[in-house]
Structure 1
Amino acid sequence: MDMNLNELTVNSQMLIETYLLPWGTKLLLALLIFIVGRMVARLIARGVGKALTSAHLDPILVNFAGAVVNTALLVLVIIFALSQLGLDTTSLVALVGAAGLAVGLALKDSLAHFAAGVMLIVFRPFKLGDYVEVGGVAGSVDKISIFSTRLKTPDNKVVTVPNGNIFGNTMTNYSEESTRRIDLVVSISYGSDLLKAKHLLDDIVGSHDKVLKDPAYRIAVSELADSSVNFIVRPWVNAADYWDVRFELLETIKLRFDAEGIEIPLPQMALHINKPE
């Protein structure tokens, strides 16, 4: 009985010394590495976020960069913690790399939109509320995200444009500058009084309260066309007043020309038929 008890005690001691103590130590060390590493990863991610915020980058990019840094560091911490348990992490690293490659190939278009989104947020060719023309669509910028940009058209439609379609093409920002020039072409018939028409245009544009005095507007004969004499009318206005002033000028010009006997010609063609003798 005493021999069995002694043998059991010896075996238990050997079990503890051979397996429990080494594995327990490795497990505690791995847990310590994981806990401390996770805390350090969070601190580094917060530091990156604060640095990007200080650089006045967009909050969307700041949050995303912080999340990427935190996730990447956490993966490294987990791999290092597992290596302390004696596990072969080489295959795990290869598996993570292969999975990343597979995901990258499957999401290559999304990654392209993501990269374009980062560039849009960093370089800021437009901001919320700007009226822009991008990716073949015109509208006010309603939301800028990592993968797409949402526009609201003048007729209140919401259009979502992938960022890759925006950054890889021409972008026109109509709100970047505080003023815009209205370009009108006004035609009169050859039989109408040219100087009178020019005086009327000058009076109409000059008396409009939303037309800017500086830069000065310009009215000039631009073309002697086939069936009309064409004027260019180019007033400057505040960007917010562009469409209102354009519509009002066109209406006023038509009414004043009708009242003053200035003819706006319709396109016409003279056809001569020679009869055989």
Structure 2
Amino acid sequence: MEKLGLTNENWDQFVKWLWDFIPGLVSAIIILIVGIWVINIISRMLRKFFKKKDYDETLEKFLYDFLNLGLKVLLVVLVVTQLGVQSSSLVAILGAAGLAVGLALQGSLANFAGGVLILFFKPFKIGDFIEAQGIQGTVKEISIFTTKLNTFGNQLAILPNGKLSNDNIINYSEEGKRRDNITIGVSYDSDIKKAKQVLLDLVNEQDKIVQDPLPVVVVTELGDSAITLSLRYWTLTEEFWDIHFYTLEEAKKRLESDGISIPFPQRDIHLYQHENIK
């Protein structure tokens, strides 16, 4: 003992402290194991409860993550308290740690607040096709801190909720239908009325195009090399792109088959010959 720098009195104090500490340590380990087991059971019960109830999927995910995190924090507090840390001291430590973590993780706290705002105001929900922060995609998941989108190319985009809740958001799915606006240029020597009728016949023969409001074709610009026609019609959101691509391709075919040309950009250049002046 003396070689280790411990006197008999110090050794006796250490052994006494160890005997006093072991029961608390064993209790803390038991509480930790039982607590994890109980949290897993509660998590499974929450999943079954949400599955039976027809709640909003976004709300279910947010509440599940929030309750699961809260239960784990409570378990850590119980375990630390069982190890002999006084409740008042623990509160003071947690307060100081919370302040330090809050200053260090201001972005995460902003994302958490953003998640709450998204959950409360519901600018979009899972399954909606949205555009935000320069990214378009279908909402796959809304969690406490981030929102995940599946892009058109099937990439996963992860957007922080803090910026997302304070940025412009375009929700293409919310209204249920969208208006398309296809612009087509026809030559100046074309029959405009005939061109407009060809385009109207094209959209009116498609059953999936909404007839209220009615499709229209208007002249929007007299350009340098063409007259610009705008074909405007409404369709259901889920059928928008299929109809758009079909209509765009068919418009070119039908206009050309009726003798209406779609000109290339062109300019008239006039050359003047001047006599040399001596």
Question: How does the TM-score come out when normalised to structure 2?
Answer: 0.71
Mapped pair 1:135 → 2:105: no
Shift of 1:165: 2.6
Displacement after TM superposition at 1:271 (Å)? 2.6
Q: Deviations over 1:81-107 (max 9, x none)?
A: 99xx9x976554432221111111221
Structure 2: distance between partners of 1:150 and 1:55 = 20
What does the per-residue CA deviation read over 1:16-55, in whole Å, with 9 as the maximum and x for residues that have no partner? xxxxxxxxxxx9xxxxxxxxxx9xxx9xxxxxx99xx999
Hey, what does 1:245 align to over in structure 2?
243
Deviations 1:159-212 (CA, angstroms, capped at 9, x unpaired):
112212311211011110111111111110001111211121121111122211
CA distance in 2, matches of 1:242, 1:58: 28
> 2:233 is matched with which residue?
235
Query: Which residue of the other structure, out of 212, 215, 235, is the alignment partner of 2:213?
Result: 215
Asked if 2 retains the 8 angstrom alpha-carbon contact of 1:149 and 1:163, the reply is: yes
Among 185, 197, 216, the alignment partner of 2:183 is 185
Q: Is contact 2:65–2:143 with CA below 8 Å preserved after alignment?
A: no
**Match of residue 149 from structure 2:** 151
Residue in 1 that maps onto 2:59: 58
Supply the distance in 1 between the matched residues of 2:157 and 2:182 (Cα, whole angstroms): 29
State how 1:1-277 maps to structure 2 within 5 Å.
58-66=59-67, 91-277=89-275
Q: 1:252 to 1:105 in 2, by over 3 A?
A: same
Q: Which amino acid aligns with 2:125?
A: K
RMSD of aligned alpha carbons? 3.4
* Larger Rg over CA atoms: 1
SS at match of 1:221: strand
Code of the aligned partner of 2:147: T
The CA distance in 2 between the partners of 1:112 and 1:158, in whole Å, is: 22
Question: Structure 1 CA distance, aligned partners of 2:114 and 2:144?
Answer: 8
**How much has 1:61 moved relative to structure 2?**
3.0
Q: Which amino acid letter does the alignment assign opposite residue 95 of structure 2?
A: G
> Does structure 1 retain, via aligned residues, the 8 Å contact 2:66–2:144?
no
Distance of aligned partners of 1:75 and 1:264 in 2 relative to their CA distance in 1, 3 Å threshold: same
Partner-residue secondary structure (3-state), 1:182: strand
SS of residue in 2 equivalent to 1:180: strand
Partner Cα distance (1:200, 1:88) in 2: 83
Q: Structure 2, unaligned stretches of length 5 or more? A: 1-23, 25-34, 40-45
- 1:99 partner amino acid: A
For the residues of structure 2 that align with 1:61 and 1:233, how far apart are their CA atoms?
A: 43
Cα separation, 1, equivalents of 2:110 and 2:209: 44
- The one-letter amino acid paired with 1:58 is L
Task: Measure how far apart 1:230 and its partner are.
Answer: 1.3
Separation of aligned partners in 1, 2:225 and 2:244: 25
In structure 2, do the counterparts of structure 1 residues 107 and 275 end up closer, same or farther at CA, with 3 Å as the change threshold? same
CA distance, structure 2, for counterparts of residue 213 and residue 93 of structure 1: 65
Kept after mapping to 2: 8 A contact 1:58/1:122: no
Q: Distance in 1 between matches of 2:113 and 2:86?
A: 34
Identity of aligned residues (%): 40
Shift of 1:118: 1.6
The alpha-carbon distance between structure 1 residues 201 and 219, as it changes in their structure 2 partners (threshold 3 A), is: same
